[in-house]
Structure formats: structure tokens, C-alpha cells
């Protein structure tokens, strides 16, 4: 329990002092809660001694009122220091997680970790900040209070003190056994939560496919199974916890009864006075409340431990090395022999198996290089490595002579714009979706970019123009409209290198013309790396690379490759047919 509490305190970082200060106020609040019992004991004691008068009644009444007021004050301060701090801690942690996620390689997001990230954000962090941060100081207070109560027993009689220690020891044994049981179920419970989140996301994202293939029953069954599994594990958790909770309450009852019996025996034996006996009767049922309350928090703290494990697991994911201090210099002319982009014996694999093998090529400023070849050959991987979505395994990639690993990610991404077939737009205004590429752009610059991308006219026909809020992922726009907005982003960014996954491959003829015009605006005076699907669009490329099984098997311009009558010529022939 103390280890879990220590882990919680460690994550508070710069707010650790506030949490520790809350221990004091929580302890003072606990004392004020006990004050009425003490005052009651004083009152009865004075009555029994014949010393009670009107003046003492006023004193005791004022003292009781003050204790109630102070209890409320200390509780408020404790909440400000503790609960409010919990929300600040996790606000900072979510920002740190966002910063961490943007530095991870893309492979992390394609290996089934989306559900884990969603579960950590929506379940684990929320659970801790709402259920645990507000009780840290109380847990410390429980420990201190129980220690004080036990010492008081030794002051009254050593035999009462020894019995109290024995009862506390029984609580600790039961608590440790309960901890082992609940810890195992807490881990399973949180893993089921992650699995359920993944299934919900999968169902929501694939609802169109599910409906079109009439798979609602099958997919709903899988989702229902996950809900039932999660429900079963939650019930199993409670079933495993319940016997130990009952054992705690039983220990509390038996321990209290034993202390009362020993007090009665000592009173009859003349070892303690009648006043102390009355005091024991008042304090007896508070004797082990602190230790019982402490272990009653076991269930939420074990879930917290499992949640912390999962949070730490996400933070432990290895980031791309961004310690590069170099910057990429300005682009040089294309006639001086300098290369804008250079791949030097690049190898890469998502797992142990290489999907790229010793890929080498170079691109001069203003040139267009097209990547063609069968699906799965490695075209997209080559382009993604340039943007450092993943780290190369062997070899190096240079931009204007600088190894991209020696350059900060921010500096590298300032040089590159990307347009892919699958466009993602945020749930925000169209204006902000375009301006995201250059937040300091003026309204006139954003509108000009929209005009060049051939999307200004349809934007102005929307109810609120550029202020129209679009659905998540751009759900309220057509594929061609989304594509043109993504191109407007890149035009506004005006980066010297453009990676282009042929954007017209899956749109209708009307949109294709508008998109081709938009791409023409985007590509003026730019260095292009194009993943080509329609070979007719890359006939004028300065260099065409045929990629198959992770290797460049042919290279040249359109005419020279057609004369070779090899793989490229065969691909052109098949498409023409």
C-alpha cells in the first residue's frame, strides 16, 4: 500500500510539495473530528468529579463550535492542496503524453496501440485523478492516527497497548493477502478495459464496411462479447475482494470486543479508574477505524497500481531520437551538382525482416522522382522514411547534405509537405484545418492557398464559409473536397520538398481535374517525391524508380525505361490495356 502511495506521490512532480502540505491539513482535520469526543470525555469526567458548572458548559460549547469550524477550514484547504492538485497533475501529464506521442515512430500506432492510448487517456488517468489523488493525505492521516491511538493504549496500560498492536498486526496480514488477490484482478480488469476500447473503436471506425456487408450481427456479437467479458472481470474482481473486506470488518469487530473485554477486566481488577473506563467506552469504536479505513481503500489503490503500470508503459515507448542540433540550410541551385535528397544504402524493417534493402538514389533541387511498382514493394516506406516516420535500420538519408538524424525533427518537417490519398481533417473549422500548416498565416494567405488548391469556391458555398465546422476526419465533406483542403494546407506551408501519394487515384473525374490543377500549383519550383499509381501522370518525371520487394530494380526516365522493355514497360502496357 505504501509503495503504491509512493508511486502516486512521485507522479505529482512539481506539485509534490502541495500534496505533502495536504498531509498536515488532513491530519489537523482528523484531530478536529476527534475533538468532540475529547470534549465529551472532559464533560463526563468533570460531572463524575462534581466539578461541572455553567462556565465550563460555555467553554466546552465554544470549543465544540470552534472544532467544527476548524474541521471545515482544514478540509477545504486539504481539498485545494490535494484534489485540485490532482487535476493539475493530470492536465500536465496529458500534455506530456501528447508531446511524447508526437515523437514516437509511426510503427507504434500501427501495432495495435491505439486502444491502449485511448484507454490510458479515457480510463486510467481519469480513474486516478477522480478516485485516488483526493485520498492520499487521508491515507497518511489514517497511518498516523492509528499510531497515536495505539500509543494511547500503552499510556493507559501496557496490556491494552500489546493487544492493540496484535489487532493491528492481524489487519496488516489480512490487508497484504487482500493486496495480492486484488492486484492480480486489477491488472486483468484494466487489460480488459483496453481490449474493450479497441473493439469499440474498431466497430465505430468500420461501421460503414460492417453495414455494407451486413455484418452487424457478427461484429455486434464481438462487441457484446467484449462488454460481457469486461463485466465478468469486474464482477470477479468484486467477488475476489469481498471475502477480504468481510475479514477486515470481522477483525474490526472482534478486535474492538477484545479491547473492551480487557478494559472491563482491568477495571474490575482496579488497574484502571472509572473515568478511564468511561473514556475507553467513548473512544473504543474509534480505536481501529483508521486502520480499517486505510485498508478499505485497497480496491481503488490496486486498480490505481495497474493503471500506473499502463501509463508508464505508454511513456516508456521509445521515442525517435531528436537530439540533432543541426539545421538544414537553404536550397541551392539545381545546376551545381548538389543533391536536395539522397538515399545512401538505406535498409529498413518493421520487424526483424527487412522490407527495404540497400536503397540508393538522389534527387536534385526542382526534380521530380516517381516511385512505382507492385503493392507492398516498399514505395510508401521509402517516402515515410524521408519524413522520419520511422528510423532507418542501416544507411542514411540526407537532405541538402545533412543526415536527417542529425537534424531536429522540427527543422526537418519545415522542409517537407505531404499529400496522401487518405486525408485526415480535424473536427474544427475549415480555416483552422488549412492554417494548421502555418498558424501565423494571415487570412488573406489562407484564402489565397484555398484558391490555388481549387477549394475556395465550394468552401464559400458552405453555410459558414471558412468558419464551417467539419466532422471528425472530414466526414461531412466528399473525398475530393477533403483532398483539395489537404493540398491547400501544403500550398500554405510552402515547403521546398513535397511527398505526393498520387491524390487522384480514388476520386471521380470532375474532382480529378480540380485536384490535378491544385497539385500543379503546389508543385511549382518544388522537389517532388511521388508515389505513382497512375503511370500516365509521371511520364514527365526526371527520374522513375521501379521498386519491388524492397529493392530498386529499374531506374531512368519514361523513354529509357520503355526502351528497356522490362518491368516498367510491362506495367505501362497492362494499364493501357
Residues pairing with 58 in the sheet? none
The CB density around residue 10, as the number of other CB atoms within 10 Å, is 10
Q: What is the mean pLDDT of residues 8-23?
A: 83
pLDDT exceeding 70 applies to what percent of the chain?
93
Asked whether 323 and 403 are in contact (CB, 8 A), the reply is no
Q: Cite the DSSP H helix spans in 50-108.
A: 54-81, 83-102
Which CATH number is 357's domain given? 3.40.50.300
Handedness of CA 571, 573, 574, 576 (dihedral sign): positive
Same domain, 311 and 343: no
Same domain, 146 and 67: yes
Burial 112-137 (b: 16+ CB within 10 A, else e): ebbbbbbbbbebbbebbbebbbbbbb
- Over the chain, what is the mean pLDDT? 83
Is the pLDDT at 114 greater than 50? The verdict is yes
The pLDDT tens digits of the residues spanning 373-426 come to: 888 888 888 988 998 888 888 999 999 888 888 888 888 888 888 887 778 888
Residue 240 is assigned to a structural domain of this protein:
yes
Q: How far apart are CA 311 and CA 574, in angstroms?
A: 51
pLDDT exceeding 90 applies to what percent of the chain?
12
Residue 536 is assigned to a structural domain of this protein:
yes
The pLDDT tens digits of the residues spanning 456-514 come to: 888 999 888 999 988 766 667 887 888 888 888 888 888 899 888 765 555 556 666 77
Residues pairing with 554 in the sheet? 546
Is the pLDDT at 233 greater than 90? The verdict is no
The pLDDT tens digits of the residues spanning 435-460 come to: 988 888 899 999 998 988 888 888 99
Same domain, 259 and 369: no
Report CA dihedral (104, 105, 110, 112) to the nearest 10 degrees. -40
Q: Tell me the three state secondary structure of residue 530.
A: strand
- What is the reported pLDDT for 362? 92
The pLDDT tens digits of the residues spanning 82-105 come to: 777 888 888 999 999 998 988 888
Residue 325 is assigned to a structural domain of this protein:
no
The pLDDT tens digits of the residues spanning 298-319 come to: 777 888 888 888 888 889 888 8
Residue 322 is assigned to a structural domain of this protein:
no
Q: How far apart are CA 521 and CA 447, in angstroms?
A: 14
The CB density around residue 483, as the number of other CB atoms within 10 Å, is 29
Q: What is the mean pLDDT of residues 525-546?
A: 85
pLDDT level of residue 335 (50, 70, 90 thresholds): very low
The CB density around residue 370, as the number of other CB atoms within 10 Å, is 25
- What is the reported pLDDT for 472? 66
Q: In what order do the strands lie in the sheet with 339-348?
A: 356-364, 339-348, 394-399, 402-403
Q: How far apart are CA 69 and CA 91, in angstroms?
A: 32
Q: What is the mean pLDDT of residues 358-370?
A: 90
Residue 329 is assigned to a structural domain of this protein:
no
Residue 324 is assigned to a structural domain of this protein:
no
Is the pLDDT at 6 greater than 90? The verdict is no
* Phi then psi dihedrals of residue 346, to 5 deg: -85, 125
∠ CA 172-178-179, rounded to 5° = 85
Spell out the residues 6+ positions from residue 573 whose beta carbon is closer than 8 angstroms to its own.
none
Same domain, 235 and 276: yes
Same domain, 235 and 376: no
Helix (H) or strand (E) holding 14: none
Domain boundary among 285, 316, 347: 316
Residue range of the domain that includes 525: 339-576
Same domain, 351 and 312: no
Cell of 146: 492509528
Quote the strand ranges of 109-254, DSSP E. Answer: none
Integer angstrom CA distances of residue 238 from 129, 277, 558? 22, 40, 69
- What is the reported pLDDT for 337? 54
Domain boundary among 316, 331, 350: 316
Same domain, 487 and 407: yes
Report CA dihedral (200, 204, 208, 211) to the nearest 10 degrees. 40
Residues pairing with 551 in the sheet? 548
Same domain, 521 and 429: yes
The pLDDT tens digits of the residues spanning 57-80 come to: 898 899 999 999 998 998 888 888
Is the pLDDT at 270 greater than 60? The verdict is yes
Same domain, 354 and 301: no
Q: Residue 347's Cα: distance from chain center in Å?
A: 31
Asked whether 355 and 381 are in contact (CB, 8 A), the reply is yes
Number of domains observed in the structure of the chain = 2
Report CA dihedral (542, 507, 425, 99) to the nearest 10 degrees. -40
- What is the reported pLDDT for 417? 87
Residue 326 is assigned to a structural domain of this protein:
no
- What is the reported pLDDT for 391? 86
- What is the reported pLDDT for 334? 46
Same domain, 371 and 228: no
- What is the reported pLDDT for 474? 65
Least confident of 173-182, 189-198, 533-542: 189-198
Residue 355 is assigned to a structural domain of this protein:
yes
- What is the reported pLDDT for 111? 66
- What is the reported pLDDT for 280? 79
Q: How far apart are CA 83 and CA 87, in angstroms?
A: 7
Closest CA to 195 of 223, 174, 170, 167: 223
Q: How far apart are CA 198 and CA 201, in angstroms?
A: 5
- What is the reported pLDDT for 166? 93
Q: How far apart are CA 368 and CA 502, in angstroms?
A: 13
Same domain, 419 and 565: yes
Asked whether 84 and 18 are in contact (CB, 8 A), the reply is no
Same domain, 281 and 152: yes
Integer angstrom CA distances of residue 25 from 6, 13, 22, 130? 19, 20, 5, 20
Which CATH number is 293's domain given? 1.20.1560.10
Higher local confidence (pLDDT), 535 or 1? 535
Q: In what order do the strands lie in the sheet with 368-372?
A: 416-419, 497-501, 527-531, 368-372, 543-548, 551-556
Domain boundary among 254, 283, 316: 316
Q: For helices 289-296 and 158-205, give the axis angle rounded to 10 degrees.
A: 20
HSE at residue 112, side-chain half, CA atoms within 13 A, is 4
Amino acid at each position: 500500500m505504501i509503495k503504491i502511495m509512493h508511486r502516486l506521490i512521485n507522479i505529482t512532480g512539481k506539485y509534490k510539495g502541495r500534496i505533502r502540505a495536504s498531509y498536515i491539513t488532513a491530519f489537523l482535520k482528523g484531530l478536529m473530528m476527534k475533538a468532540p469526543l475529547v470534549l465529551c470525555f472532559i464533560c463526563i469526567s468533570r460531572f463524575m468529579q462534581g466539578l461541572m458548572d455553567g462556565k465550563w458548559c460555555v467553554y466546552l460549547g465554544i470549543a465544540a463550535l470552534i472544532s467544527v469550524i476548524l474541521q471545515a477550514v482544514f478540509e477545504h484547504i486539504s481539498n485545494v492542496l490535494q484534489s485540485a492538485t490532482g487535476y493539475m497533475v493530470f492536465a500536465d501529464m496529458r500534455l506530456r503524453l501528447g508531446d511524447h506521442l508526437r515523437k514516437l515512430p509511426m510503427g507504434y500506432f500501427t501495432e495495435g496501440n491505439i486502444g491502449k492510448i485511448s484507454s490510458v487517456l479515457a480510463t486510467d488517468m481519469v480513474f486516478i485523478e477522480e478516485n485516488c489523488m483526493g485520498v492520499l493525505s487521508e491515507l497518511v492521516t489514517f497511518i498516523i492516527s492509528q499510531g497515536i491511538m495505539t500509543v494511547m493504549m500503552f499510556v493507559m496500560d501496557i496490556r491494552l497497548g500489546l493487544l492493540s498492536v496484535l489487532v493491528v498486526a492481524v489487519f496488516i496480514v489480512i490487508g497484504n493477502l487482500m493486496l495480492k488477490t486484488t492486484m492480480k484482478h486489477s491488472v486483468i480488469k484494466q487489460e480488459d478495459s483496453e481490449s474493450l476500447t479497441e473493439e469499440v473503436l474498431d466497430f465505430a471506425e468500420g461501421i460503414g464496411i460492417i453495414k455494407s456487408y451486413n455484418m452487424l450481427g457478427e461484429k455486434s456479437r464481438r462487441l457484446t462479447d467484449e462488454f460481457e467479458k469486461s463485466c465478468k472481470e469486474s464482477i470477479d474482481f468484486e467477488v475476489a475482494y469481498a471475502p477480504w473486506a468481510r475479514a477486515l470488518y470481522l477483525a474490526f469487530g472482534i478486535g474492538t470486543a477484545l479491547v473492551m473485554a480487557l478494559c472491563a477486566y482491568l477495571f474490575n481488577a482496579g488497574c484502571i479508574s472509572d473515568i478511564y473506563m468511561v473514556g475507553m467506552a467513548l473512544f473504543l469504536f474509534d480505536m481501529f477505524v483508521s486502520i480499517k479505513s486505510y485498508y478499505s481503500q485497497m480496491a481503488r489503490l490496486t486498480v490505481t497500481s495497474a493503471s500506473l503500470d499502463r501509463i508508464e508503459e505508454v511513456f516508456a515507448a521509445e521515442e525517435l531520437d531528436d537530439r540533432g542540433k543541426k539545421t538544414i540550410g537553404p536550397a541551392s541551385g539545381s545546376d551545381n551538382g548538389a543533391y536536395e535528397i539522397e538515399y545512401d544504402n538505406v535498409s529498413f524493417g518493421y520487424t526483424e525482416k527487412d522490407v527495404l534493402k540497400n536503397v540508393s538514389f538522389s534527387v536534385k533541387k526542382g526534380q521530380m522522382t516517381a516511385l512505382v511498382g507492385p503493392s507492398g514493394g516498399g514505395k510508401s516506406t521509402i517516402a515515410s522514411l524521408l519524413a522520419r516516420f520511422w528510423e532507418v535500420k542501416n544507411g542514411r538519408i540526407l537532405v541538402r547534405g545533412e543526415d536527417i538524424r542529425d537534424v531536429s525533427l522540427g527543422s526537418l518537417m519545415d522542409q517537407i509537405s505531404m499529400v496522401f490519398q487518405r486525408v485526415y481533417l480535424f473536427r474544427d473549422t475549415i480555416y483552422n484545418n488549412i492554417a494548421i500548416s502555418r498558424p501565423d498565416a494571415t487570412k488573406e494567405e489562407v484564402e489565397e492557398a484555398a484558391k490555388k488548391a481549387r477549394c475556395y469556391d465550394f468552401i464559400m458555398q458552405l453555410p459558414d464559409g471558412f468558419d464551417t465546422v467539419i466532422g471528425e476526419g472530414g466526414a461531412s465533406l466528399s473525398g475530393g473536397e477533403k483532398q483539395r483542403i489537404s493540398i491547400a494546407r501544403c500550398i500554405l506551408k510552402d515547403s521546398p520538398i513535397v511527398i505526393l501519394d498520387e491524390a487522384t487515384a480514388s476520386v471521380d473525374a470532375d474532382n480529378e481535374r480540380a485536384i490535378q490543377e491544385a497539385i500543379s500549383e503546389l508543385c511549382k519550383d518544388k522537389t517532388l517525391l511521388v508515389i505513382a499509381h497512375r503511370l500516365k501522370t509521371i511520364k514527365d518525371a526526371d527520374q522513375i524508380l521501379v521498386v519491388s520487394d524492397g529493392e530498386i530494380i529499374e531506374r531512368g526516365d519514361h523513354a529509357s525505361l520503355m526502351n528497356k522493355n522490362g518491368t516498367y514497360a510491362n506495367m505501362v502496357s497492362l494499364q493501357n490495356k
